Amino acid sequence: MNWYQRRIQLSPMPRGFHLITTHVLKAIPEIRQLRAGVLHLFLQHTSASLSLNENADPDVPRDLEMSFNRLAPDSVPYAHDIEGPDDMPAHVKSALLGVSLTIPISDGDLAMGTWQGIYLCEHRNRGGSRHLVATVWGEARTA
């Protein structure tokens, strides 16, 4: 069994849901060497999150953003408001979605469904760069 771990820095992104599947795969080329395994992604932030969701229709990320803004609007008078009106709603959204994903690896690729992709969900208006810890564990493919 082989272990690989990388810290991935993502450039700042605007508020919304952003596909990062390609970025993750480029950062961990060892995935291609595995017959079977697991990718675990952990986002080191409390005002953003990760999601595995529809990756083909551009309406999906827009609709997700709209729905989450209705669940945790900026306009609520939160007690925690020292970092701005978008901070506490970002924490709520992050708590709902979570900051980690575990995805199986099969024959050198992520074993996701046809329409699934990895999203960084940026819940702040200006969240800055984001950091992921990607850990891969698996059995090498035979030559």
Q: Tens digits of per-residue pLDDT, 64-79?
A: 999 999 999 999 999 9
Q: What does pTM read for this prediction?
A: 0.95
- Give me the domains of the chain, ranges plus CATH numbers: 2-140 (2.60.120.460)
For residues 28 and 118, is the Cβ–Cβ distance under 8 A? no
CA 116, distance to chain mean position in Å, is: 12
* Percent of all residues in the chain with a pLDDT value above 90, rounded to a whole number: 97
Rg of the Cα atoms in the chain: 16
Predicted pLDDT at 142? 83
Predicted pLDDT at 143? 66
How do residues 38-58 score in pLDDT, each as one tens digit?
Answer: 999 999 999 999 999 999 999
3-class state of residue 21 by DSSP: helix
